[in-house]
Structure 1
Amino acid sequence: MKILMIGEFSGFYKNLKKGFELQGHDVILMASGDGWKRIEGADILIDSNWPYFLGKIHKRIQIIFSLIKLSRFDVALIVNPNIGLSLISKLFSFILKLKSKKIILSACGTDLEYLKYGEQNKFDYWPYDVNKPKLSKIIHKNILDSVNFIIPTFYDYAEPWRQSIYSKNVLTTIPLPIDTDSIKPFFPKDEGKIIFFHGLNREDFKGTRYIENALLNIEKEFNHEIEVVIDGKMPLNVYLELVKKVDVVLDQCKVYSFASMNSLYSMSLGKVIMSGYREECKKEYNIESELPGVLHIEPSVEQIESQLRYIIKNKHKLRSWGKINRQYVENFHDVKTIASRYITLFEKNSIC
């Protein structure tokens, strides 16, 4: 099967591409590297040194000209429906339909349906209680009119799409993939201080002020037992080297589902993680086994502090929890497993 992938989401498409290729499929990834994360692996790199707004337009034009040069694909996957200006989005949709038999939207980033759902107060809490982005309804419609199916990656994105006018096009949620074969685990150590880490990236979105305040309060209380590292906005390879040295990774506290790419990288490295882990997430992913190394946190300093104290009290269990996390991602998020689920879904819905 010939597969075209456009965009990136913290390494999602890079890892999924690897899974498809291991299945014997011909894959082209067109991506920018996801900004300062500098994610490698794109076959066609979309980049620009132009100033902010002009740079965005320049990259959209690069996508269109690159599409024109490519042959026809069986299926195209795109990460985000917000492609440039109205005219550019229409042109993009037109050319993509000419070049692909079927077009699939990966519902995994901020889009109009997600924002509408949150604005209607249907989440108990969500990342955009402040600094909500403005997205174009026209561009959204231009892109969605060309999309055949939508495949969510989290409950947080799946439910808004299931409640939208595009609900009939929403397929089964498939979790994000991670190439576990390429990642050696570094499990929490048995001795010394527990090292907690929170990565700075979209601080309002991830709830950094709650996490940071909780960490600093606990550090004062247990200063001889823990170490706190708060850092971020670094290339992915540098970030992963840092994660190797810590024991517990606090990802984000304003979401329902834990399995972001950041959490999956951390779990693959054998780390304990703290993120959203609500019942909705367990049901969406059909999680039946216990995951003691995934601790649920919410946008509440007191609730996060309570979970941090629980970890400190159970320091002797961190290594075994890290091993359970590693085994979980090997079983349910490995690139080969996830790619197989996509191919099965394609076949079931006559996409290939």
Structure 2
Amino acid sequence: MKILLVGEYSRLHNSLKEGLLALGHSVTLISMGDFFKKYPSDILLDRKYDQGLAVKLKIGIFKLSGIDITSNSIRSQFFKHQDQLKGFDVVQLINESPFAIQPKIELELISFLKKNNDKLFLLSCGTDYLSVQYALGEALPYSILSEYKSGKIAEDKFQYILKYARPEFKKLHHHVFDLIRGVIASDIDYHLPLEGHPKYLGLIPNPVNTDNLKLLPIVYSGRVRIFLGINRANYHSKGIRFFEEALQIISEKYSDKIEIEIAENLPYADYIEKFDKAHILLDQVLGFDQGYNALEAMAKGKVVFTGADKNFEEFYELQEIVAINALPDAQQIAGKLEELILNPKMIQEISSNAREFVEREHNHIAIAKKYISTWQEN
């Protein structure tokens, strides 16, 4: 098959591409590299006017004319490659808004892809209209919008999530769903909002290329090393403050038994280098399944504090602990950390379980086969 993957989130499409290539398919990836993470892409679009004085210029032009020069730039770059974006058997969008631009221009690009290729599919692996509506409701005990709904944090801190609830994104959502053959969820967090939807094709777990992620042996020399990587853009939606509060509790109690490293907004390569040295990775609180960074850490044998609730355990029929379910409760997180600090053999056990789980459930070639089956059947 000839496949076009559109957009990138946390290396998902890169890993899927590697699995598809291993199966003998032809794959092209077009994306912006997922912003500061700078993931590779066959056709890399340069997102301009988002830094320094250029931002002020962009805002000024938008206020005067309603024109977003970043969106226009992405549109121009996209159509320079239009001949390379035709004739695919399958096109898969990473999101309803895969280029993160104005909805009207987004729809223009997606409509071009629909017109000039065979099948169009959509992934739900990040915030979109349906997942935001679900999070705004009362079905979940907590969500990425808990801090917003509580009134503790200002609305502008959630604008990159709440934008999907605006009329223009609702309109984009409905147009995209009219164009696609179906939508696939990448984990439990996106499966729950889609249950029962007529275009929902099911959950296909994130693909992880464990060939590139070697299991790192646990080296324990009397101190447990804990790493927290912070991306300020999703600080509140991931519940990072609960980790910070838990670390404060633990550091006061076990300063002689732990080493804590905190880093912010690192490119992917630098981030990986930091957490390679850690025993424990603090990933996210306000979720029910693991995101991509958590899975890569688990593949390397890290004990990851993340979403791992009963829905996750039931879906994978787990009997063993493969990750620590982090609740929005600093005392609960501190208690789990304390248990590991006082019982370092648990770290070794969970490390081994985590690696085996990722190899078993997220192997990039096995996952690529599931995608191929889903695309062919729909």
Q: Report the TM-score when normalising by structure 2.
A: 0.86
Question: How far does residue 288 in structure 1 lie from its aligned partner after superposition?
Answer: 2.4
The question of whether the paired residues in 1 share the 8 Å contact of 2:85 and 2:113 is answered with: no
Tell me, which stretches of 5 or more residues in structure 2 are unaligned? 56-67, 149-156
Q: Distance in 2 between matches of 1:5 and 1:122?
A: 32
Q: Is the 8 A contact 1:194 1:247 kept in 2?
A: yes
AA matched with 2:229: G
Task: Report the Cα offset of residue 113 of structure 1.
Answer: 0.5
The equivalent of 1:334 in structure 2 is 363
Identity rate, percent: 28
Partner Cα separation in structure 2 for residue 292 and residue 236 of structure 1? 27
Count matched residues: 342
1:64 CA drift (Å): 4.2
Deviation at 1:203, TM superposition (A): 0.8
SS in 2 for 1:204: coil
Aligned to 1:108: 125
Match of 2:321 among 287, 292, 295: 292
3-state SS of 1:145 partner = helix
The aligned amino acid for 1:252 is Q
Q: 1:183 is matched by which residue type in structure 2?
A: L
Q: Out of 213, 236, 246, which is 1:214 matched to?
A: 246
For the pair 1:76 / 2:91, whether they are aligned, the reply is yes
Q: CA shift at 1:85, angstroms?
A: 2.8
Deviation at 1:240, TM superposition (A): 0.8
Is residue 304 of structure 2 the alignment partner of residue 276 of structure 1? Answer: no
Deviations 1:297-344 (A, max 9, x none): 111111111111121122123123212211211111111111011112
Which residue in the other structure is 2:62 paired with? none
Q: Distance in 2 between matches of 1:143 and 1:318?
A: 44
Q: Tell me the alpha carbon deviations over residues 268-287 of structure 1, each in whole angstroms, 9 at most, x when there is no partner.
A: 1111111111111223xx32
Aligned twin of 1:191? 221
Q: Deviations over 1:182-211 (max 9, x none)?
A: 122213223221011111012111111111
Could you list the runs of 4 or more consecutive aligned residues of structure 1 that deviate by over 3 angstroms after TM superposition? none
* Residues 152-173 of structure 1 deviation map (CA, whole Å, 9 limit, x = unaligned): 011111121225xxx1110120
Query: CA offset at residue 115 of structure 1?
Result: 0.8
| Selected match of 2:343 from 300, 314, 317 | 314
Task: Specify the alignment match of 1:263 in structure 2.
Answer: 294
Match for 1:278: what amino acid? D
* 2:374 is the alignment partner of 1:345: yes
Q: Does 1:45 align with 2:12?
A: no
Q: Secondary structure at the match of 1:290?
A: coil
Q: Is the alpha carbon distance of 1:291 and 1:62 closer, same or farther for their aligned partners in structure 2, counting shifts above 3 Å?
A: farther
The match for 1:126 is 143
Instruction: Give 1:68 deviation, angstroms.
Output: 4.5
Structure 1, 106-115 or 288-297: larger mean CA deviation:
288-297
Q: TM-score, normalising length from structure 1?
A: 0.92
| Pair 8,186 (structure 1): closer, same or farther in 2 beyond 3 Å | same
Q: Are residue 238 (structure 1) and residue 270 (structure 2) matched?
A: yes
Moved more, 138-147 or 121-130: 138-147
CA distance in 2, matches of 1:64, 1:125: 41
1:150 aligns with 2:183: yes
Q: How far, CA to CA, are the matches of 2:370 and 2:80 in structure 1? A: 31
User: Does residue 17 of the first structure (1) align with residue 22 of the second (2)?
Assistant: no
For the 8 Å contact 1:250–1:275, the answer to whether it is kept is yes
Alignment check: 8 A CA contact 2:90 2:375 kept? no
Distance between the aligned counterparts of 1:75 and 1:195, measured in 2?
A: 44
Q: In structure 2, the residue corresponding to 1:171 is in which secondary structure? A: strand
Q: Are 2:301 and 1:302 aligned?
A: no
Q: Report the Cα offset of residue 142 of structure 1.
A: 2.4
TM-superposed CA distance for 1:65, in Å, is 4.1
Mean CA deviation greater in 8-17 or 186-195: 186-195
CA RMSD of aligned residues (A): 1.7
Contact preservation (8 Å) 1:86, 1:142: no
Separation in structure 1 between the aligned mates of residue 78 and residue 182 of structure 2, nearest angstrom: 21
